[in-house]
Amino acid sequence: MKNFIRILLASVVIFNVFSCSKDEVSEVLEEQEELVDDVVVKDDDTSFEATDWTTTSHSKDADPNFEEVFQDNTVKRLDFVITKERWQSMLDDMTNTYGVFGASSGGGQGGGLITTNEDPIFVPGEVFYNGKQWYRVGLRFKGNSSLQSSWRNGILKLSFKMDFDEFEDNYPQIKNQRFYGFKKFSLKNNYEDKSFLREKVATDIFRNSGLAASHAAFYTLYIDYGDGPKYFGLYTLVEEVDGSVLDTQFSSDNGNLYKPDGDAASFALGTFDQDEYEKKTNEDEANFTDVSNLLNIIHDSKRTTDPASWRADLEAVFDTDVFLKYLAVNTVIQNWDTYGRMTHNYYLYNNPDNDKLTWIPWDNNEALQTGKRGGSLPLDFSGLNTTEWPLIGYLYQDDIYKAKYNTYVEEVINNAFKDNTIQDLYTNYASLIEQYATSELSGYSFLNNSSDFQSAVSQLKNHVTSRKNAVLDYLK
């Protein structure tokens, strides 16, 4: 660990060699050596001193610094340092839950996906960025099918959750620790996305359409778990909804935030189950009337007997305008791994400004392609089982809502998903990340070879053109 930290800190100095004299460089190196020794000696000591702590970089008092963390024109680097014992505990926990690492990679029987309500364990680790240290950060693996599939196929490039004050009760020095104003992130491994672009571009498109959605940026990740830093590959850092998205894109974060998952997430008749509406805020308040009211109104008989009254009731509890705009974006760009095909990958937030449940998209690594499980829904939702997916089916059957949806579809293709704009975006992002993507190591990559990357980018560019043509045909 000492060698790794020495290399990391020295590398920061190297960037400044040409602006410093030889004596100044030597002085800085001596200071860094002292810091390395101090960090190593006190690694597991609760009496450590958070020497790199500043208000702007580490404190809760700082506003989220999007310009620092979510830059579009650069690939930044994160380093994790986790003790060998803690790293092994993370791996043991994964083995206990999902089986032996690499069990499916050699032709073994991996079996079907395992259903579990337990997240992988958090461990404290050190995070380094741009020469600064963040202390005892909560680090764990994250994901569902992507996590299991990667693990079973022997790919150690796993997604992570980062929570900067997860262990503040154990280490009072890090109370309310933040990373430039952010409490937590998802660090996503771009599973089954050989272009590495889908998560980033999809979030761009949702926000550019005027919807609340996460920011994302490209980062490389190195991890030292006792044997020196290892390149884990190119990741996408994603802003968490139950954090800065609420803080910065809504006037208040006091409303109920739900992450539905399971049958209840379909809003089909008779599926209500409050255990499947996982609360991310106000967890101690056992009040789920906002989501139960929504389900009741969706299935009210007034939908067919008095549509105007049904719409008024629905709009009193659900932001239909936001949902229809989201639906237009999601269907134009194509994203199968969410509502309409799968009962997960969205949030509902009871916006305190209007007391309406508001739709927030999440997890977009499968977007921008036709997809699996029957593929993404067609623009006219033909073949959709309306009773299984009533939020789409019933709204599209209503002439007023259908007209609004059609308007948004046209807006998407003319603005946020305009063909030449997105083509240029793919070109620029691909040029930015190619060297990092194609230098991933065997066992830490989903690429078979470097040509996989360019082929995947070309597919994305072709997809833009095909979606423009599909929308023009639909709107005729």
Tell me the pLDDT tens digit for each residue of 120-160.
Answer: 999 999 999 999 999 999 999 999 889 999 999 999 999 99
110 and 174 inside one domain: yes
230 and 262 inside one domain: no
Strands (E), 130-249: 132-141, 160-163, 184-188, 216-224, 229-239
pLDDT computed for residue 47 by the predictor: 82
- Residue 152 tokens, joined: 């079973």
Structural domains of the chain, count = 3
236 and 266 inside one domain: no
Question: 283-292 — which CB contacts under 8 Å span 24+ positions?
Answer: 285/256, 287/256, 290/256, 290/317, 290/350, 290/357, 291/258, 291/260, 291/348, 291/357
CB 243 within 8 A of CB 183: yes
Assign residue 257 the CATH number of its domain: 1.10.1070
Bridge pairing between strands 216-224 and 184-188? unpaired
29 and 178 inside one domain: no
220 and 126 inside one domain: yes
In a domain, 362, yes or no: yes
378 and 461 inside one domain: yes
420 and 278 inside one domain: yes
CB 94 within 8 A of CB 148: no
**Complete DSSP assignment for 453-466:** HHHHHHHHHHHHHH
- Per-residue pLDDT tens, the chain, 476 aa: give them: 444 444 444 444 333 333 344 344 344 434 433 443 344 434 556 889 999 999 999 999 999 999 999 999 999 999 999 999 999 999 999 999 999 999 886 544 455 777 787 899 999 999 999 999 999 999 999 998 899 999 999 999 999 999 999 999 999 999 999 999 999 999 999 999 999 999 999 999 999 999 999 999 999 999 999 999 999 999 999 999 998 999 999 999 999 999 999 999 999 999 999 999 999 999 999 899 999 999 999 999 999 999 999 999 999 999 999 999 999 999 999 999 999 999 999 999 999 999 999 999 999 999 999 998 889 999 999 999 999 999 999 999 999 999 999 999 999 999 999 999 999 999 999 999 999 999 999 999 999 999 999 999 999 999 999 999 999 999 99
Of 202, 227, 248, which residue is a domain's last? 248
343 and 281 inside one domain: yes
349 and 227 inside one domain: no
468 and 327 inside one domain: yes
Place of tokens 């771009």: 190
Alpha carbon distance 401, 398 (integer Å): 5
Q: pTM value?
A: 0.89
In a domain, 43, yes or no: no
Structural domain for 384, as ranges: 250-476
In a domain, 295, yes or no: yes
